[in-house]
C-alpha cells in the first residue's frame, strides 16, 4: 500500500471507531430497542409512543452489511429523509417524523443535548406498527421487470400484473409497477404478488403509489430530477390505524437520476443512477452476488472487504447529487443552515 492508501485506510477505521463511540454514548442514556442495517433505534423513557432513530454511515448491498463506513453518508440520508417527509406532509401524507435538528433535544436526556452530531443524524419519530412488506414501486420498465416482460413463458404478466404489448425498454409505467417483497430478517427479501398484499393489507400499495406520485410531482416542479424506482416502509398509526410513511426516503432506498438524463431514456441512453447501484457494482465485481447473506462465513468475508478512496468519493458524489434533487436544490450545508437553523 502507498502512504496515501494507508492514510485513507486509517481514516476509514477512525470514522468507524468514532461512530461506534457515539452509538455507545447514546446507549449509556437510552435503551436500544433495535438495529437495522443502517439505523439504530432507541426508546425514550419519558415518551413511550416515540423513539429516537440514529442514522449511521453503515452501508449494505445485496442484503450484506459491509465492515466499513462511508463517512458522512448517514447525514445525507437523515437530512434527505427529513426534507422529503416535510415536503410530503404538505401533500397530506402522514409521516412518522416528530422532531429533528436541535428540536430533538426536547426529547433527550441532558447528557445527549446540544450534540451537533446527533442533530445531524438523529430524529424523533412516532413508533408505528410496521407492515412487514417492502413497498417496491417502479416507474419504468427495466432490470428484472424488463427480463420477465420479455420472457414468453410469463405472457407479459410481471409480478402478477398484466402489462400491455410492445412496451420499449424504460417505458414509463402508469400507475407505477408494484413489486412488493417480504422484509426478511436475514437473507434475501422474497417477492410477493400484488394480489396477496392487497388482500392482507388493503390500500397499502395504493398508498405507496400515491406517495411516489406525490414525490414525483414535487420533483417535477423543480425540474432537477426524477425518481425511477423506490422502496417505502409504511406502518400504522397505533391510534387511528392509518398508514404512515416511516423509515427513509433517500438514495439508499430510491433510484434517482437528473431530469436531463431521464429525458434521454427515450433515446435509449442509460442515465447516471444516483443511488447504491454504483456501490453494488463494486461489490458484484468482488463476487457478492454469488454469496449467501444467511451464511456466517460469507458475511465474515464481506465484512473484511475495504474500498479505495476513489470508490468512497464517487459514491458520495452521487449521493450529494441525489440529496440536491430530494432537498429541492440545496447542498447539505445550505439545507442545514436555511431550513434547519443549524448554521
Task: Compute the least distance from the CB of residue 39 to ligand ATP, in Å.
Answer: 3
C-alpha cell, 290:
454469488
The only residue of 247, 275, 319, 323 in contact with ligand ATP, by rule CB under 6 A: 247
Binding of Mg ion at residue 252 (CB under 5 A)?
Answer: no
* Backbone CA torsion sign across 225, 228, 232, 237: positive
DSSP letters, 196-250, are: HHHHHSTTHHHHHHHHHHHHHHHHHHHTSEEEEEEEEEEEE-TTT--EEEES--S
The only residue of 94, 233, 261, 275 in contact with ligand ATP, by rule CB under 6 A: 233
C-alpha cell, 103:
428540536
Q: Which is nearer to ligand ATP, 261 or 275 (CB)?
A: 275
Q: Which is nearer to Mg ion, 56 or 115 (CB)?
A: 56
47 vs 129: CA distance, rounded Å = 16
Look at residue 91 and give its three-state secondary structure.
coil
- Residue 315: in which H helix or E strand, if any? helix 309-326
Chosen from Mg ion, ligand ATP, none, partner binding at 255 (C-beta under 5 to 8 Å by type): none
Task: Compute the least distance from the CB of residue 183 to Mg ion, in Å.
Answer: 9
Binding of ligand ATP at residue 288 (CB under 6 A)?
Answer: no
Binding of ligand ATP at residue 41 (CB under 6 A)?
Answer: yes
Return the residue nearest Mg ion (CB atom).
247
Selection from 218, 206, 143, 133 nearest residue 176 by Cα: 206
Q: Which stretch binds Mg ion (CB under 5 A): 89-97, 240-248, 280-288, 312-320?
A: 240-248
Binding of Mg ion at residue 247 (CB under 5 A)?
Answer: yes
Q: Which stretch binds Mg ion (CB under 5 A): 46-54, 143-151, 241-249, 327-335?
A: 241-249
Q: Which is nearer to ligand ATP, 254 or 261 (CB)?
A: 254
157 vs 172: CA distance, rounded Å = 16
Return the residue nearest ligand ATP (CB atom).
36
The only residue of 26, 84, 125, 192 in contact with ligand ATP, by rule CB under 6 A: 125
Q: Which is nearer to ligand ATP, 9 or 184 (CB)?
A: 184
Q: Which stretch binds ligand ATP (CB under 6 A): 21-29, 119-127, 141-149, 258-266?
A: 119-127
Give the x-and-dash track for 184-223 against ligand ATP (CB under 6 A): ----------------------------------------
C-alpha cell, 237:
398509526
Selection from 216, 204, 230, 206 nearest residue 91 by Cα: 216
Q: b or e along 290-315 (b: 16 or more beta carbons within 10 Å of the residue's beta carbon)?
A: ebebeeeebbebbeeeebeeeebeeb
Binding of Mg ion at residue 57 (CB under 5 A)?
Answer: no
Q: Which is nearer to ligand ATP, 246 or 257 (CB)?
A: 246
Selection from 148, 168, 166, 169 nearest residue 157 by Cα: 148
Selection from 264, 268, 193, 283 nearest residue 225 by Cα: 264
The only residue of 12, 98, 118, 128 in contact with ligand ATP, by rule CB under 6 A: 128
Binding of ligand ATP at residue 37 (CB under 6 A)?
Answer: yes
Binding of Mg ion at residue 134 (CB under 5 A)?
Answer: no
C-alpha cell, 291:
454469496
C-alpha cell, 141:
420498465
Where along the sequence are the contacts to ligand ATP (CB under 6 A)? 36-39, 41, 60, 96, 125-128, 130, 233, 235, 246-247
Amino acid at each position: 500500500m502507498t502512504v496515501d492508501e494507508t492514510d485513507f485506510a486509517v481514516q476509514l477505521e477512525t470514522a468507524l471507531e468514532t461512530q461506534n463511540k457515539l452509538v455507545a454514548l447514546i446507549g449509556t442514556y437510552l435503551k436500544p430497542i433495535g438495529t437495522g442495517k443502517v439505523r439504530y433505534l432507541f426508546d425514550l423513557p419519558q415518551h413511550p409512543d416515540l423513539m429516537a432513530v440514529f442514522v449511521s454511515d453503515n452501508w449494505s448491498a445485496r442484503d450484506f452489511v459491509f465492515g466499513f463506513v462511508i463517512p458522512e453518508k448517514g447525514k445525507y440520508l437523515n437530512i434527505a429523509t427529513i426534507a422529503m417527509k416535510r415536503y410530503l406532509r404538505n401533500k397530506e401524507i402522514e409521516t412518522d417524523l416528530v422532531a429533528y435538528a436541535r428540536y430533538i433535544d426536547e426529547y433527550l436526556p441532558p447528557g445527549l443535548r446540544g450534540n451537533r452530531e446527533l442533530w445531524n443524524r438523529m430524529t424523533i419519530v412516532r413508533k408505528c406498527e410496521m407492515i412487514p412488506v417492502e413497498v417496491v414501486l417502479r416507474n419504468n420498465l427495466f432490470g428484472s421487470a424488463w427480463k420477465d416482460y420479455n420472457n414468453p413463458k410469463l405472457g407479459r404478466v410481471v409480478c402478477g400484473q398484466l402489462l400491455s404489448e410492445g412496451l420499449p425498454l424504460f417505458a414509463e409505467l402508469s400507475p407505477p409497477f408494484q413489486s412488493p417483497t417480504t422484509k426478511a430478517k436475514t437473507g434475501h427479501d422474497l417477492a410477493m404478488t400484488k394480489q396477496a398484499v392487497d388482500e392482507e393489507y388493503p390500500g397499502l400499495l395504493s398508498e405507496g403509489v400515491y406517495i411516489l406520485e406525490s414525490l414525483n410531482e414535487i420533483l417535477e416542479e423543480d425540474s432537477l430530477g426524477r425518481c425511477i424506482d423506490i422502496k417505502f416502509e409504511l406502518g400504522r398509526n397505533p391510534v387511528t390505524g392509518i398508514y404512515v410513511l416511516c423509515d427513509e426516503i433517500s438514495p439508499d432506498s430510491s433510484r434517482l437520476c437528473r431530469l436531463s438524463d431521464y429525458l434521454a431514456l427515450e433515446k435509449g441512453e442509460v442515465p447516471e443512477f444516483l443511488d447504491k447501484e454504483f456501490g453494488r457494482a463494486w461489490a458484484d465485481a468482488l463476487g457478492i452476488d454469488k454469496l449467501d447473506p444467511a451464511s456466517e462465513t460469507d458475511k465474515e468475508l464481506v465484512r473484511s472487504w475495504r474500498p479505495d478512496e476513489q470508490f468512497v468519493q464517487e459514491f458520495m458524489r452521487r449521493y450529494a447529487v441525489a440529496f440536491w434533487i430530494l432537498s429541492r436544490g440545496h447542498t447539505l450545508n445550505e439545507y442545514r443552515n436555511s431550513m434547519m437553523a443549524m448554521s
